[in-house]
Amino acid sequence: MSWTETDFTRRLGLRLPIVQGPFGGGLSAVDLAVAVSEGGGLGSFGVHHLDGAGIREIASAIRARTARPFNLNLWIPFRGSDELSADTATFDAWLAPLRGFFDELGVALPTPPERYAPAYAEQIDAVLDARPAVFSFVYGIPSAEVLARCRELDIVTLGAATTPAEARALAAAGVDAVVATGMEAGGHRVSFLRDAEQVLTGGLALVPQVADAVDLPVVAAGGIADGRGIAAALTLGAQAVQIGTGFLACRESGTHDAHRMALLGPAAEDTGLTRAFSGRLARGIRNRFMHEIGAGPLAPYPAQGWLSGRLRAAAIAQERTDLMSLWCGQAAPLLGRSGSGAIPAAAGYLQRLVAETDRAFARHGPR
Amino acid sequence: MSWTETDFTRRLGLRLPIVQGPFGGGLSAVDLAVAVSEGGGLGSFGVHHLDGAGIREIASAIRARTARPFNLNLWIPFRGSDELSADTATFDAWLAPLRGFFDELGVALPTPPERYAPAYAEQIDAVLDARPAVFSFVYGIPSAEVLARCRELDIVTLGAATTPAEARALAAAGVDAVVATGMEAGGHRVSFLRDAEQVLTGGLALVPQVADAVDLPVVAAGGIADGRGIAAALTLGAQAVQIGTGFLACRESGTHDAHRMALLGPAAEDTGLTRAFSGRLARGIRNRFMHEIGAGPLAPYPAQGWLSGRLRAAAIAQERTDLMSLWCGQAAPLLGRSGSGAIPAAAGYLQRLVAETDRAFARHGPR
């Protein structure tokens, strides 16, 4: 049977079992989501950093340019993150370890904001109004009411699990499909039942365990950047793959060129996990900010992310890759092996993935 | 092409591209190596804890029972480990964190030994004399003289890499094949160019990178316990797999039943990496010894292993799984999914792997 046809692709009407990873914090881009959806995969946009109006605007912009299915992604509030506030003394203590970087970049010290992240209730209303083909989420499970509304609106829900237990929790709540996220993945570790550091399972071991644990389509994420990885993930029991770093490196993504070139160069060979940028564990290229800030003390999520976010525009403008978050998965070195160093376009990257996956499946057969 | 035929299996005359992981410290067994080699795979025996006479005895015992190829495995000396010694004050400082466990188990406190591990020069002579079909090694690269002797004796050399750089170093030295060891693997992390904690790459990302880095057969290790994993590893570019935990759980292995039952039960869902048992990073089922000793201070390798080894016989005799090393990879939960809880025999496990791999390759094909 052709590897492109699975229950997951049939249900969504996709030509390819390839989901674009839904980057947050402005790294997603309408151009990229449109290119992936038009190319036969599932284009995605991470909207956790946007308020309701921002989410509606993004959904309209994608819909204006493609009639194909697309995916909006949110972060579920986690351990009180949606209500986090701090008095001035606490805020100053959170800011203290970062003061040197504000000075170095010439950025004025911030004062406490009204909120450290957009209100979740407003975000979820906007996502439901936008009615994407797929609503994906990380760090937990939406309420029963939200999941019921998704069913009424024919929105396919896609939760994220880093353990079989998290997958079972998602299935028990009635979520439609599960992303099994191996520790190879770039960006945030999306664990919600145990601390992320305690459940760092590689995809080879995780994907079949999740496939055994739940009677739902499984999407494999983490460590996949070429067709060999796609074929391997489907062989392990996944019905689709989610590729993050590979699409982040494409020219249509919302990241900056310094980050993109790092993904395609030798720096990408050395990634690590850190809470330095957001207060939650995430994988990126090791740099000075990780080394100097990672050991803590750190503000809690989402305050640490808000604080380091105040540095970001200046770090980017000054091309200071030593102080930026350079999210990157462990498979990034597979992107540049042609040695061309050229920045790919999403359509070309999809074509490469399809050809490689065909070849991988043609190479072996049963005895 | 049948998945069982690769350059690696052809060169060694194996019927199956399956290598048994070479457990050290007494966990290997002649019965297991013979059963795997007779079953068409490559049986292995880890001899790093044995002196020359012990190695010769093991090789003779295996050879007496099978004419098929088998593999002996050694640990290469690492950062002075072969010459480690200590004065009484240093030894007492190393012993201090463990004194409570000696008391608890009723074991007399040890005095400093002549050596903390057998002499490597004696071990390597015995391995060359034994002339196994395969000599595999971890933690580095044997000398040019040893590798030249292996070529003269028609011994295939098999080194271990946790990064593409380590694979390139092995290839440059003239090693014949490379085990790409993903972070999912149970037991010791075999990194030798960087600290093991810094290079924890999952197999999905590592195996294709190593296959791209060297023009040698690659054996995938870590996170593989069923036929889906075998099919995935071959799809990623490996020519064989090395399975540790799955064979350790077989009745022929040299481990004790408490460990074996832990591998087949729910405890195996929670593994972690620790230096507590040997002074070098290794993956096992989380237990009290890891929690209480892992944070250090620790004696250097191999002294920490010698010290914790003094506790082992008593811990096993008293079935104290809270104090034993329960080496275990992240794929262990795939072993028990039949729910039978029965301890498999190696021959039956091999048959299951073959049938599952056939099914995995039959499920998908090119477009």
Q: For A365, which DSSP code?
A: B
Residue B30 three-state SS: helix
- Could A331 and B205 be called an inter-chain contact, meaning their C-beta atoms sit closer than 8 Å? yes
- The one-letter amino acid code at A219 reads V
On whether ipTM exceeds 0.90, the answer is yes
Q: Which chain B residues are closer than 8 Å to A202 by Cβ?
A: 182-184, 202-204, 222-223, 330
Superfamily of domain A7-84+118-261+337-361: Aldolase class I (3.20.20.70)
Nearest Cβ partner for A358 among B236, B359, B367: B367
Give the pLDDT of residue B243. Answer: 98
Q: For A42, which DSSP code?
A: B
Q: In whole angstroms, how large is the CA radius of gyration of chain A?
A: 20
Q: For B19, which DSSP code?
A: E
Q: Which chain B residues are closer than 8 Å to A235 by Cβ?
A: 228, 231-232, 235, 360-361, 363-364
Give the pLDDT of residue A364. Answer: 83
A101 burial level (CB within 10 Å; 0-12, 13-18, 19+):
buried
Q: What is the pLDDT of residues A279-323, one digit of tens each?
A: 999 999 999 999 999 999 999 999 999 999 999 999 999 999 999
Cβ A245 vs Cβ A262: under 8 Å? no
Band of residue A131 on the pLDDT scale cut at 50, 70, 90: very high
Q: Which chain B residues are closer than 8 Å to A205 by Cβ?
A: 184, 222-223, 225, 229, 329-331, 334
DSSP A231-251: HHHHHTT-SEEEE-HHHHTST
Q: Over 90: is that where the pLDDT of A25 sits?
A: no
Closest by CA to B45, choosing from B60, B30, B35, is B30
Pull the structure tokens for residue B346.
């190696």
Give the pLDDT of residue A135. Answer: 98
Pull the structure tokens for residue A157.
């829900």
Cβ B207 vs Cβ B198: under 8 Å? no
Mutate to test the interface with B, among A2, A235, A269, A274 (most CBs of B within 10 A): A235
User: Which residue is closest to B366 within chain A, CA to CA?
Assistant: A358
Residue-level length of chain B = 367
φ, ψ at A212 (rounded to 5°): -75, -30
Q: What is the pLDDT of residues B6-38, one digit of tens each?
A: 999 999 999 999 999 999 888 999 999 999 999
User: Which residue is closest to A330 within chain B, CA to CA?
Assistant: B205
Q: Return d(Cα B165, Cα B315) in angstroms, integer.
A: 39
Beta bridge partners of residue B159, listed in sequence order = B178
Pull the structure tokens for residue A341.
């160093």
Q: Which chain B residues are closer than 8 Å to A228 by Cβ?
A: 208, 235-237
Q: Which chain B residues are closer than 8 Å to A181 by Cβ?
A: none
Q: What is the pLDDT of residues B335-351, one digit of tens each?
A: 986 556 689 999 999 99
Q: What is the pLDDT of residues B86-110, one digit of tens each?
A: 999 999 999 999 999 999 999 999 9
Closest by CA to A197, choosing from A289, A280, A111, is A280
Pull the structure tokens for residue B315.
């811990």
Distances (CA, A) of A202 to A55, B18, B91, B282: 33, 20, 38, 15
Share of chain A above pLDDT 90, in %: 94
Closest by CA to B160, choosing from B130, B199, B128, B116, is B199
Fold of B7-361: TIM Barrel (3.20.20)
Shortest Cα–Cα distance, A363 to chain B (Å): 7
Question: Taking the model in full, what pTM does it have?
Answer: 0.97
Cβ A132 vs Cβ A145: under 8 Å? no
Instruction: Looking at chain A, list the stretches that DSSP marks H as alpha helix, in order from N- to C-terminal side.
Output: 7-12, 30-38, 52-65, 88-95, 99-105, 120-130, 144-152, 164-173, 203-213, 227-235, 245-248, 257-263, 288-293, 303-317, 346-363
Closest by CA to A190, choosing from A6, A46, A19, A326, is A46
pLDDT along chain B (367 residues), means of 10: 94 98 94 98 98 98 98 95 94 97 97 96 98 98 98 98 98 98 98 97 98 98 98 98 98 96 95 97 98 95 96 94 97 80 91 96 85
- Could B164 and A333 be called an inter-chain contact, meaning their C-beta atoms sit closer than 8 Å? yes
Q: Return d(Cα B35, Cα A329) in angstroms, integer.
A: 39
Q: Over 80: is that where the pLDDT of A112 sits?
A: yes
- Could B201 and A212 be called an inter-chain contact, meaning their C-beta atoms sit closer than 8 Å? no
